[in-house]
């Protein structure tokens, strides 16, 4: 079984957030004028999450950065990269936004993508031993839950 330490998980989290920011910026390029500001706000939130995770990563103890698997060819790193690139915020955002989707539909899509990121982090928990920063994953998950709550509040504000 492949184990990952907190440093590797945070590296993946940073990549997912970079992908999210890029995704929302690309979506803003092909969205209607009403949705553009919202999508750019979402991109900025993803950028903030990336900075938060980078800061959390910088604060890790040396034991939480320790490699737990012999991997001289960095296959685990390549695997993490492939997971981060292919699981959350993948695909062409313009494909999701074709057909003149409303802001409500865009928010629903964004909430779904954020839920996917939470599921991804939950699935990573078994691969991170307690002694290597497993508790830090909960910090990431809580950040993403906060993002969903914010998106849900914006969605509810549109309904009123």
Instruction: Confirm whether 90 is domain-assigned.
Output: yes
Instruction: Confirm whether 40 is domain-assigned.
Output: yes
Domains held by the chain: number: 1
Each residue's pLDDT tens digit, 106-128: 788 889 888 988 888 887 777 67
CATH number at residue 146: 1.20.1260.10
Instruction: Confirm whether 23 is domain-assigned.
Output: yes
Residue 135 burial (CB count, 10 A) = 10
Each residue's pLDDT tens digit, 73-93: 666 556 555 655 555 555 566
Instruction: Confirm whether 70 is domain-assigned.
Output: no
Distance CA 139, CA 90 (A): 23
Nearest to 44 by CA among 124, 131, 137, 150: 150
150: DSSP letter: H
Can you give the pLDDT at residue 94?
A: 65
Distance CA 32, CA 44 (A): 18
Each residue's pLDDT tens digit, 28-50: 887 778 778 888 998 998 899 89
Can you give the pLDDT at residue 66?
A: 61
Instruction: Confirm whether 66 is domain-assigned.
Output: no
Assign residue 60 a region: left if phi > 0, alpha if psi is -120 to 50, beta otherwise? beta
Each residue's pLDDT tens digit, 129-147: 676 667 777 888 888 898 8
Question: Which residue range(s) make up the domain with 110?
Answer: 6-60+75-159
DSSP of the chain, one letter per residue? -----HHHHHHHHHHHHHHHHHHHHHHHHHS-TTTHHHHHHHHHHHHHHHHHHHHHHHT--GGGS---S--TT-HHHHHHHHHHHHHSS-S-HHHHTTTT--HHHHHHHHHHHHHHHHHHHHHHGGGS-GGGTHHHHHHHHHHHHHHHHHHHHHHHHHH-
């Amino acid at each position: 079984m492949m184990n990952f330490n907190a440093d590797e998980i945070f590296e993946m989290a940073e990549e997912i957030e970079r992908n999210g920011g890029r995704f929302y910026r690309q979506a803003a390029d092909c969205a209607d004028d009403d949705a553009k500001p919202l999508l750019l706000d979402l991109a900025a939130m993803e950028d903030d999450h990336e900075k938060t995770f980078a800061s959390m990563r910088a604060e890790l103890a040396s034991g939480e950065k320790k490699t737990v698997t012999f991997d001289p060819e960095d296959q685990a790193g390549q695997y993490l990269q492939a997971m981060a690139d292919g699981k959350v915020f993948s695909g062409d955002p313009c494909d999701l936004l074709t057909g003149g989707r409303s802001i409500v539909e865009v928010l629903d899509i964004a909430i779904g993508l954020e839920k996917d990121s939470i599921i991804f982090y939950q699935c990573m928990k078994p691969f991170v031993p307690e002694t290597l920063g497993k508790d830090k994953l909960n910090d990431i998950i809580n950040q993403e839950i906060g993002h969903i709550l914010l998106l849900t509040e914006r969605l509810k504000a549109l309904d009123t």
